[in-house]
Amino acid sequence: MVVCVLILASSVWAAVPGGRALKTRDKVLRERFEAAVDLYVDGTYTIAEREFRDIASSPQLSRRGQEVAHFMVGKCQFASEAYGVCRNFFAYYVDTYPKSPYLAAAHIMIGHCAFRLGDDVTAANAYVAALGVRDEDYAPIARRNLEPLITWSLSQTELEILLTSLDESPEYDWVRLWIADRWSAQGRERLANDIYAEIAARHPSSEPAQLASARLGGGATAAEPTEQLVIGVLGPMSGDFQDFGYDMVRGAQLAADRFPMGVTIEVFDTQADSARAVMMVDSVASRRCDCVIGPLHSAAILGTAPLFDDEGIPQVLPLARRGGYSESYDRLFQMSRPPAEQAQRLAEYAIHTLHLNQLSALVSDTPEGRAAGAAFADVAEWAGRAMHPVQYFNPGDTDFGEQLKTLRRRTLPPDLTKEQREDTLSLMEGMLVWGDAEDIVLIAPQMVFHGFRVYAFGPEGWSDKDGLRRMRKSLDSTIFVSYEWVDESRPEWTMFVREFETEWSYTPTTLSGRVYDVVSWLGDGTGRDPQARQIVRTLARESGYRGATREWRFDEDGYPTHIPVLHYVNRRIVPVEAN
C-alpha cells in the first residue's frame, strides 16, 4: 500500500484564527493572548495551552473570543503530538461551536490527528466534513489531504460507505471523481462511468464535471491489466445441506462483483460428502485456484486440509466449530476458535466479571462438549471456585432430568427432607450448557423446572433466533459466544444485506456475510499479486479487515484474535465486550 503523505497547510497549522489579536475590549486579555501566541510559536506548547485555557474561561471574553482561544488549545495539543487528546478536543469544539467560522479548520485538525493515529477512515470523514462547511480557505486543504486517502488507503467497502454518505452538493464532486477513478483503475468501469455521468450532468460547469466528461469521452487512461485472483468455493451445492452451499456461493459472487476484472469464483460441489470433498482437491488445483473457502463439515475439513497444504493453496474455513485445524497448517485460517477456548473465555467472564462462585457444566458427550466442559472446569478450579463434576448427555437425548437432579442435589444441604428439597432453590450461580441449538431449546425449560435460577453459559446454539423465541419464557439471562451473530446496526452489514436482497431476493445468512468478507478482504488486499504468499500475508496482517459481519483479525495460528461474548437479556442480544 502506498503511504499517504499528510499535508499540513500553514493556514491551519501556523496561523491564529482571525489574526494575531484577540477581539476583546479587555486590554489585559489581549496582551495575555499575544504572549500565549509567542509561547506557542517558540514551541512552549504546554504552558501556552494552559494560558489559552485560562483565557477562554474568562467571563470578560465574548463567545467569538472563546472560539479562538479554544481553537488554540487544540493546536497546542497537536503541536505536542498528543493526537488522541487533540482529536477528542476538536470533536468537542465542533459540538460546542457548530456555527464557528473556524469549523472547517477544526474538522481538518480532526482529520490530521486521525491520520497520525492510523485511522484513515475517521480522517477521510473529517476532511469530507470540512468540505461540507463550504469554506473557500480550507476546502483546498481538505481536498489535498483527502485525495491520497481515497486513491491509496481506503478499502472498497470503506469507499462505498463514504460514497453513500455524500449528498448532492458540488463540494463533494471531487470526492466522487476520485472514487470513480479508483474503481476505473480496478476495472469497475460500469460503476465508474455511472459516477462520471452523474457528476457531469449535475454541475456541468464545474472542474470535476469537466474532468468527468473527459473520462466518459475516453480521456481517462486505461488501467493496466491485473492478474485474476481465482477463489474456489468448496461446499454442498446439492443434497440436504445445499442451502449452506448456495449461501456461500452467493456471498462470494456478490463480493467478486466488486472486482469484475480481478476476482473469479470457481464452485465445487461436495454434495455434503466428505470423501467427495477430498476428491475435489485435484479439481481445485487443476483450475489454478489461488485460495479455497470451505468445506463445512469436520470430516471433510480433516481430509482436505493436508492435501491443500501440500498443493500450497491457502484455505479459509467459514464455519469450523470444532477447532484445531489451523494450528497444523500455515496456510489455513478458520473463522472461529476451538470450543475449549470459547468455554475458557466464558469461565473467565463468569469468574472475573460476574464474580460467580458456584459453577457447573452440562455438556454433550462429544469431542467438542468434552473439551468445552473440561476447559470450563479447569478455569473454575484454578480460580478456587466451587466447580461441581461435569455432567454429560448423549446427542439426541430429550430428557436431562437425571443430570440436573444430580447437580441440584450437590448444592442443597444434605439434611433437607424430600419436600424441602423440592421447595428450595439451587445455590448454583452459573452453568455451562454445551450442545446444539435443539439441545439448548430442550434443556432451558428443564433447568427452570428443576429450580435453577442461574446464568447459563454456552456456545453458538444460544444465538439461534428461533430457539431464543421458543425458550424466552424459560431463561432470560444467558451468556454465550458466537462468531455467527452480527450487529445488524453495522452500516457495512446494512449495505451488504441491501445488495444481497437486491441480487438474490432473500435475506442473507451470516455464513453468506463471512464468505463475502473473505472474498472482499482478498480482493482489496492482494492487488496485482494473487500468490499464496500474498494471500496469507493479507489474511495475517495486523490491521485485519473491517468486513460486513465484523472486524476480522487472525493470530499467528490462523484463529480470530477475539472471542465475542454476548448477553441475551430482556429478549435482546447485547455484546458485553467491544470487538
Average pLDDT over residues 410-417: 63
Position with higher pLDDT, 2 vs 505: 505
Residue 83 confidence class, pLDDT cut points 50, 70, 90: very high
Write the pLDDT tens digit of every residue in 9-24.
333 334 466 555 576 7
Residue 307 confidence class, pLDDT cut points 50, 70, 90: very high
Pairwise CA distance, residues 462 & 74, whole Å? 47
Pairwise CA distance, residues 513 & 573, whole Å? 19
Within 8 A by CB and 6+ apart from 174, the residues are 131, 143, 146, 147, 208
Of 116, 37, 575, 557, the closest CA to residue 341 belongs to: 557
Within 8 A by CB and 6+ apart from 3, the residues are 152
Residue 542 confidence class, pLDDT cut points 50, 70, 90: confident
Do the Cβ atoms of 191 and 179 come closer than 8 Å? no
Of 490, 73, 54, 518, the closest CA to residue 316 belongs to: 518
Q: So what's the pLDDT on residue 572?
A: 76
Average pLDDT over residues 196-219: 84
Residue 155 confidence class, pLDDT cut points 50, 70, 90: confident
Mean pLDDT is highest, among 5-9, 191-195, 371-375, for 371-375
Pairwise CA distance, residues 20 & 543, whole Å? 42
Backbone angles phi, psi at 565, to 5 degrees: -110, 130
In the predicted structure, residue 4 carries a pLDDT above the cut 50: no
Query: Residue 408 to residues 380, 396, 418, 429, 559: CA-CA distances in angstroms?
Result: 18, 23, 13, 11, 37
Tell me the three state secondary structure of residue 94.
Answer: helix
Q: What is the dihedral of CA 113, 119, 125, 129, to 10 degrees?
A: -10
In the predicted structure, residue 423 carries a pLDDT above the cut 60: no
In the predicted structure, residue 44 carries a pLDDT above the cut 60: yes
Exposed e or buried b per residue across 475-491, where buried means at least 16 C-beta atoms within 10 angstroms of its C-beta: beebbbbbbbbbeeebe
Q: So what's the pLDDT on residue 19?
A: 55
Pairwise CA distance, residues 394 & 318, whole Å? 27
Domains annotated for the chain, with CATH where assigned, are 10-154 (1.25.40.10), 229-334 (3.40.50.2300), 339-482 (3.40.50.2300)
pTM above 0.75, yes or no: no
522 residue type, one letter? L
Average pLDDT over residues 407-428: 64
In the predicted structure, residue 530 carries a pLDDT above the cut 80: no
Tell me the three state secondary structure of residue 307.
Answer: helix
Of 164, 20, 155, the closest CA to residue 519 belongs to: 155
Pairwise CA distance, residues 574 & 463, whole Å? 11
In the predicted structure, residue 3 carries a pLDDT above the cut 50: no
Within 8 A by CB and 6+ apart from 245, the residues are 235, 236, 237, 238, 269, 270
In the predicted structure, residue 78 carries a pLDDT above the cut 50: yes
Write the pLDDT tens digit of every residue in 317-343.
998 767 677 777 888 999 998 899 999
In the predicted structure, residue 271 carries a pLDDT above the cut 50: yes
Q: So what's the pLDDT on residue 425?
A: 56
Q: What is the mean pLDDT of the chain?
A: 84
Q: So what's the pLDDT on residue 12?
A: 37
Residue 285 confidence class, pLDDT cut points 50, 70, 90: confident
Do the Cβ atoms of 76 and 45 come closer than 8 Å? yes
Q: So what's the pLDDT on residue 148?
A: 86
Backbone angles phi, psi at 316, to 5 degrees: -120, 130
Q: So what's the pLDDT on residue 7?
A: 42
In the predicted structure, residue 219 carries a pLDDT above the cut 50: no
Do the Cβ atoms of 434 and 459 come closer than 8 Å? yes
Pairwise CA distance, residues 169 & 174, whole Å? 11
Q: So what's the pLDDT on residue 469?
A: 63
Q: So what's the pLDDT on residue 326?
A: 72
Q: So what's the pLDDT on residue 470?
A: 58
Q: So what's the pLDDT on residue 380?
A: 93
Residue 222 confidence class, pLDDT cut points 50, 70, 90: very low
Average pLDDT over residues 177-193: 80
